[in-house]
C-alpha cells in the first residue's frame, strides 16, 4: 500500500481565483510527459501539490518542455517507451503517450499502432496492479470524417480503416475498447477523454498542426499553406483549459468512465484562422492553397454538454488571447534558433 501524505494547500487558478485544496499528495504517472500536453499537465499537477513521475521516449517530446521542472524534488523523469512494461508504485495514471500530429504518427504507422495498443495494455496492467485510477487521452479522431455535427460522445463516427490516418484513428479506438474491457472485466477505475484540437506554448514547431504551422510560417515570412480552399472547420482549445478538463475528469467518482469530449465548441474555418494569425503577427506572408490530404475531415466541433454537466468545465480562454500567448512563445523560440529538436 502506498504512503499518502495529507496536506492542505491554497492556490490561485489561472483566472486568479483562490482555491482551497484539502487533498492527499498522490503519486501520479504522466506518460508522454515531455510532450506538449504532458509537460503542461506535469506542471499543473505539481502546482496543486502532487508528486509527479514523467515518462517519455522523446520521439516527439523534448527535454526543453520539462527542463524547468527537473529541480523540483517532487518531479521524476524516466526515459521509457510505453510499449514496454513499467513497474512503479502509483496512485493515478494519465496515459498521454502517442505522437499526435499527422506528420509524426504517419512517419511510422506500425509504431503508432503499437504505442496506442501496447501502451494501453501496459498502462492498464500497471493501474490494475496498483488499483490506480487511469485517464486515457483519446482523440476527436475517433469520429473520423463525421456526418453528425457537432460531435457528441454517443456518435460512433465515420472512419476509413485503410487510410493514411487510420494508424492513429484505429489505435485510439482500440485503446478505448481496451480501457472499457478492463473496466468491465476487472472493475478498473478508468476515465476516457476525447481531446479536440488544442494549442498553446510548447507545441512542436515542426509538427504540421495547423496553428503551429501558420504561426511559424507567418513569423518567418514564409507562405502560409492552406490545404483545400480553407473552408474546412476546426475548434481550438487553449492548453490551460484542456489541462483543467483532464484533471477534472480524473477527480470524478469511480462510476464515471466517459468518454468525455474536451475541446472548444467555438468553430472557425481554416481560412479565417490564417487571416487572424496574419493580423495578430503583422506578417506579410501570402496564402498558398495546396491539395487537401486524403480523408481530412471537413468539420470538427465537440458537443461538450457532458463535460459541463459532469466536470463543471468549459473553455475560458478566448481564441485571440490564446493565439497571442502562442505567438509570443514561438517568437521567443525562433529568436533562440529553436528548431524543435530534443
Write out the three cell numbers for 192. Answer: 476516457
Burial per residue of 222-254, b for 16 or more beta-carbon CB atoms within 10 angstroms, e otherwise: eebebeeebebbbbbbbbbbbbbbbbbbbebee
Picking from 138, 236, 220, 223, the residue whose alpha carbon sits closest to that of residue 178 is: 138
Q: Can you give the pLDDT of all 342 residues of the chain as single tens digits?
A: 333 333 333 344 444 333 333 346 899 999 999 999 999 999 999 999 999 999 999 999 999 999 999 999 999 999 999 999 999 999 999 999 998 777 777 788 999 999 999 999 999 999 999 999 999 999 999 999 899 999 999 999 999 899 888 888 999 999 999 999 999 999 999 999 999 999 999 999 888 889 999 999 999 999 999 998 999 999 999 999 999 999 999 999 999 999 999 999 999 999 999 999 999 999 999 999 998 877 677 888 999 999 999 999 999 999 999 999 999 999 999 988 765 443
Cell of 94: 494519465
- Before 119, cis peptide (omega within 30)? no
Q: Could you tell me which CATH number the domain at 13-335 has? A: 3.40.50.720
Domain ranges of the chain: 13-335
How many residues comprise the chain?
Answer: 342
Which among 151, 100, 157 has a CA at the least distance from the CA of 267? 151
Whole-Å CA distances, 225 to 76, 197, 220: 40, 18, 13
Rounded Cα distance, 289 and 298, in Å: 16
DSSP letter for each residue of 98-158: S--SHHHHHHSHHHHHHHHHHHHHHHHHHHHHHT-EEEEEEEGGGGBS-SSSSB-TT---B
pTM of the predicted model as reported, rounded to 2 decimal places: 0.89
d(Cα 320, Cα 277) in Å, to the nearest integer? 9
Catalytic annotation, residues: 168
Q: Which three cell numbers stand for residue 199?
A: 494549442
Are 183 and 257 in contact, with CB atoms under 8 Å apart? Answer: yes
Amino acid at each position: 500500500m502506498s504512503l499518502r501524505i495529507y496536506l492542505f494547500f491554497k492556490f490561485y487558478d489561472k483566472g486568479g481565483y483562490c482555491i482551497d485544496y484539502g487533498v492527499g499528495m498522490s503519486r501520479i504517472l504522466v506518460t508522454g510527459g515531455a510532450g506538449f500536453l504532458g509537460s503542461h499537465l506535469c506542471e499543473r499537477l505539481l502546482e496543486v501539490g502532487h508528486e509527479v513521475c514523467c515518462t517519455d521516449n522523446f520521439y516527439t517530446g523534448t527535454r526543453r518542455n520539462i527542463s524547468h521542472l527537473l529541480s523540483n524534488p517532487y518531479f521524476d523523469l524516466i526515459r521509457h517507451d510505453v510499449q514496454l512494461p513499467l513497474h512503479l508504485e502509483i496512485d493515478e495514471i494519465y496515459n498521454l503517450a502517442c505522437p499526435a500530429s499527422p506528420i509524426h504518427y504517419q512517419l511510422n504507422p506500425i509504431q503508432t499502432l503499437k504505442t496506442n495498443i501496447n501502451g494501453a495494455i501496459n498502462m492498464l496492467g500497471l493501474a490494475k496492479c496498483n488499483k490506480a485510477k487511469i485517464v486515457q487521452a483519446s482523440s476527436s479522431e475517433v469520429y473520423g470524417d463525421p456526418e453528425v455535427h457537432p460531435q457528441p460522445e454517443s456518435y460512433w463516427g465515420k472512419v476509413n480503416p485503410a487510410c493514411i490516418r487510420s494508424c492513429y484513428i484505429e489505435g485510439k479506438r482500440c485503446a478505448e475498447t481496451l480501457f472499457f474491457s478492463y473496466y468491465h472485466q476487472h472493475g478498473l477505475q478508468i476515465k476516457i477523454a476525447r481531446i479536440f484540437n488544442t494549442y498553446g506554448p510548447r507545441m512542436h514547431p515542426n509538427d504540421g498542426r495547423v496553428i503551429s504551422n501558420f504561426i511559424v510560417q507567418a513569423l518567418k515570412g514564409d507562405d502560409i499553406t492552406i490545404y483545400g480552399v480553407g473552408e474546412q472547420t476546426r475548434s481550438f482549445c487553449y492548453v490551460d483549459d484542456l489541462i483543467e478538463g483532464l484533471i477534472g475528469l480524473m477527480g470524478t467518482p469511480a462510476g464515471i468512465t466517459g468518454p468525455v469530449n474536451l475541446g472548444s465548441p467555438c468553430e472557425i474555418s481554416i481560412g479565417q484562422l490564417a487571416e487572424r494569425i496574419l493580423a495578430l503577427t503583422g506578417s506579410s506572408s501570402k496564402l498558398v492553397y495546396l491539395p487537401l490530404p486524403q480523408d481530412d475531415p471537413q468539420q470538427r466541433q465537440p458537443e461538450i454538454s457532458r463535460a459541463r454537466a459532469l466536470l463543471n468545465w468549459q473553455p475560458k480562454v478566448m481564441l485571440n488571447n490564446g493565439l497571442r500567448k502562442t505567438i509570443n512563445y514561438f517568437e521567443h523560440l525562433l529568436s533562440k534558433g529553436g528548431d524543435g529538436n530534443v
